[in-house]
Amino acid sequence: MAVPLRIDDHRRDSAGFTYVYPVVSRRAGGVSIGINFNPNNACNWRCIYCQVPGLRRGAAPPLDHARLRHELEAMLDSIVHGDFYRRFQVPASHRRICDVAISGNGEPTTLKDFGAAIDTVLTTLADYPLLGLARVIISNGSRIHHPAVQRGLARWGRAGGVLWFKLDRATSAGIARVNQVRLSPRQILDRLEQAAGLCPVWIQTCWFALDGHPPPPQERQAYLELLAQAKRRGLPLEGVLLYGLARPSQQPQASRLSRLPAEILEELAAAIRRCGWPVKVTP
């Protein structure tokens, strides 16, 4: 099984596997090999822009480490020795393998043996050093205080991996509206500080219109103030990944969401740079 890869379709079953899936990534500018610890579509957050169909509250199920290793090996072998680009009809402009990203259909750190799963991924990648793949974990940071998560992130960091830490809004009301969790800006800063002490961290922010309106000025100001506080604390963050909507939401609020003009994202990016942080924009 091989489903043609498109920028606007990041389905997790494109290779017919349980855990491993390739996508064409607009942010990476090539192919990203995804790893899905949450094939049950369960997450402890419920972001209104999430593209996962049938999303439900919950945690990752037990992981079959042997299957994960087999699938990742099969995918990497097809890239190195097989006809990966032809089978998946990858557009010529994106025919390069950029990274391995632990992302998927929910929060990956809800996996009980997260640290062991990181070991499985890294030991498998060690057999393919010539690919030189970047290594990314995409997380909401909600379980950063758990020892197993900390061990896994520290191991990931030592292996050259990075964490993309979700931060979409910076007021309690905004977080509740967009991510549908109760969380304060102070808690976010504390979690960011813990994460940055374990591995390199990029903040990942999705900026979009709700009911035809961009985030209100007070939300924008709170977001910039949180970044300024992170700078004053001396957090060793890599910078900010600022992006807009690329694929349709599969959540009940989908009809209320729309993309923002690139100029609005660029204006926010300029303000982020004035806070002292590098920023990469993907409208």
pLDDT one-digit tens code per residue, 199-236:
999 999 999 999 999 999 999 999 999 999 999 999 99
Rounded Cα distance between 11 and 53, Å, is 10
User: Is a pLDDT exceeding 90 seen at residue 4?
Assistant: no
Mean pLDDT, residues 8-33: 79
Per-residue confidence (pLDDT) for residue 7, from 0 to 100: 60
Cα torsion through 256, 257, 262, 264, rounded to 10: 60
pLDDT-based confidence at residue 10 (cuts at 50, 70, 90): low
* Strands, E assignment, the chain: 20-25, 30-36, 42-43, 56-57, 97-103, 134-139, 162-166, 201-206, 209-210, 239-243, 257-258, 279-282
Rounded Cα distance between 149 and 152, Å, is 5
Mean pLDDT, residues 270-283: 96
**Bigger pLDDT: 73 or 13?**
73
Lowest mean pLDDT among 4-18, 22-36, 121-135, 169-183: 4-18
Rounded Cα distance between 227 and 191, Å, is 13
pLDDT-based confidence at residue 15 (cuts at 50, 70, 90): confident
Query: In angstroms, how far apart are the furthest CA atoms of the chain?
Result: 53
Mean pLDDT, residues 110-131: 95
